[in-house]
Structure 1
Amino acid sequence: MGPAISLLPALAIAFSASQSSAQTPAPYSPAKSGFDFPIYTNHPPGNTLPNDPVRRGATTPPLHPDETRKLIQVPPGFEVRVFASEPMVVNPVAMTWDERGRLWVLELYEYPRGAKPGEKPRDRIKILEDTDADGVADKVTVFADGFNLATGLALGNGGVYLGAAPNLYFLQDTNAPAGSGAGALQKANKQTVLLTGFGLEDRHELLNGFAWGPDGWLYMTHGVFTRSKVRDAHDPDGFGVQMDAALARFHPRTKKFEVFADGTSNPWGVDWNERGDAFVSACVIQHLFHMAPGGQYNRQGGTWANPFGYVGDLPTKGLPAVVDWRHYRAAHAGICIYQGDQFPPEWRGLVMLGNIHQNALNCDRLTPLGSTYRAEKESTLLGPAGEALRAKTGATIKQGEEWRHVGPGNFLVSGDPWFRPVSVQTGPDGALWVMDWCDRYPC
């Protein structure tokens, strides 16, 4: 068995270092979320989307998770396994692990419209466990529910940090032994609002990407078309911190909130390399930024909170991305700089990025460049496009369809058009875990 790759989706295919069923799958009937997800567009009312197969969405029905797994290409020596699927997990948007190895998943039922007036919101936090060590989740615990448009999740300080605009919550289980870690938590019974003022204007660009930095701060990303003025929830007269496209952070002890770096577009995820440098994945504009404290970076639109850093046209001003090229399309979500020990050592330090338009995980290699970095498509380890397919079946790929195959810049490619990877992380087992939003439409 080779290194495992783990995925977690919203139609709930959760691939990870887990064993898929050997039985013939039954006809698949996906769990219902309560309403059909609409597709949003900037086109005037009454106009249809252009004849674009990506923006038009998948034209085939959803597949059973085991069938989806068979359509995933990975480099030779790697394998994909399913850890959990619907109805055990539905609409997952964020994940993390506790010290016992339990997988925590945030389910986002209310995207994008929000809960209906007068109805209880349905977003919730689940704990998934593999109690018999066969690599498949077999136990689910609902830790907390009743939230609306919840998009950020992190464990720490004996509780759970939850982002659900306009608030940042801290959830506790007071029945857990005092001083115990998150592994002792079972059911939230205390809720505290730490911060408020996070915007809700664009439901695609809410606060997201919670991750603990090497400095002990809780980091989060936030999109350009959602306006926030974040303040202490217990200080109604507080001035607040203005934020839209940014990487921000919260200190759990001092309760200080600040913008770490300003710019990009709709960033969705942050991770650090072994030197402690922060990298953010973004959409629409360039897809990868090295962000330093106080930096003002190229933006999709609008202006920085501090207007005195740069002048001139925004598209050409501000600190640049570490790339001046694109993968297929430009809808990236989730970032992982792999530093686990399950993959061979030559894979350490490579950047893995979810690409919801390509139904793929892209892979970039970072090279130091002065005080920053340059990123290029990883090609040394991935080889020419289609090489893995030729070695396995003898088939060759068509010119212009390299993006559909493992090769330079493409670590994982799915033939299932419903595959929408939104989170990529290294799990406690060293496997690469991928959360798949699994939807007909990319967003």
Structure 2
Amino acid sequence: MPGTDGVDRRGLLKIAGGSLAALGLTAAGCGGGSGSADGTVTLRYAWWGSEDRAKRINETIALFEKKHPKIKVKTDFQPYLDFWKKFNTQASGGNPPDVFQNAIGFLRKYDAKNVLLDLNQQVKAGNLSMGNFRAGLEKFGEVDGKLLGVPVGSNSMALVIDKKVFARAGVTPEPGWTWDDFHRAMRTIRQTQGRAGDTGYYGVMYLYDLYLRQQGKAFFTEDGLGFTEADLTDWWTTGYEGVKAGVYADPKKIAQVKPKSGVTAEIGACEFTWDNFTVRYSSEGTSDYGLAPIPTTDGRKTGQYLGSLMLSASRRTKHPEEAAQFIDFMVHDPEVGRIMGYDRGVLTTTEQYAAFEPADDVNKEIAAYEKRLVDSGVLEKITPHPAGADVAESAFLRIAEEMAMGKRSVGDAVEQFFTESKTALGA
């Protein structure tokens, strides 16, 4: 899932999932925002991210207020963990922001807590357009017929590689390579370069989802898990054996260098992550980094989809029309696209995508990677995420790490994951 800005996934998911589960929200109550005697409306807009993202977003807000003088926007941004802490407090008190940054893993949970506004009515009223989205992204924020989020940037899973290490090892990942090819390549890197191949693929939930989708399954169904204990046993056994053989990085070493990547710390030669995170590697490390394709089971099916950060509105807002107009502006206005660039992923609407021309090599490669995915026809619909998905993801990462460190056997790890996930998902 995009947008964590390098924050440790285990910590942030624990906080987001645990506190949300305790909200117990109802639909009644007051809304956010305010109005004035002269008809001016004030919206509260909150997001997570870095100072650079805040600077860009503040520029877009100034542009919006200039074009909509009767709507003022009060902003609030935090690092990821702090964002969710504050948001949960506001939501439990019945006063969440009018508009806020959101992600796929939280849609069903927030919807079940009556936090999210169904934006379909605003689309029908002409305050929000869901036209001109790339590659079917207009469907990304839909849950059970309700429009709960509007995408602002797209990304997809990819393999970030240290190009120099791969070149010295004579390994060239190409579209259609298989998992057998991947594991063989990792062994070659270990044998020829004295460095682990991968930093810990076995603990990446979104990658395991793709592996399952390649076989006609999925990590999640609409109301639970879409795979068996035997499936996970096979996946984690391969990972554990690779760690013990030194083909995959020692998780203790990876933990020691956090928040820096194990790739830029030169512990491993590659790792699976979201394509738009590639910018991070170039700023952290001293080598050349690039994007390689996802391995397949059959030489064709990758199981991939375009993911996205999105904008959602509060069900409690007193100004649903203005909130929808604000979201519409942020996803369609060409100048907003030029200002934001690929900060939150490749721009989702055709107006903004055409308006921004990446000048640096990293962003050009991200755009080219997603274009290849779209043109190749391999993209599918995203797997549904049931309420509690964030807790299951956190458990997957934590327990995989414990297994890799030898704190749990593979069998015990699998059993523990299913126990925790079934509780989180209400199964």
TM-score, normalization by structure 1: 0.24
Judging by fraction of residues, say which structure has more helix.
2
TM-score, normalization by structure 2: 0.25
Judging by fraction of residues, say which structure has more strand.
1
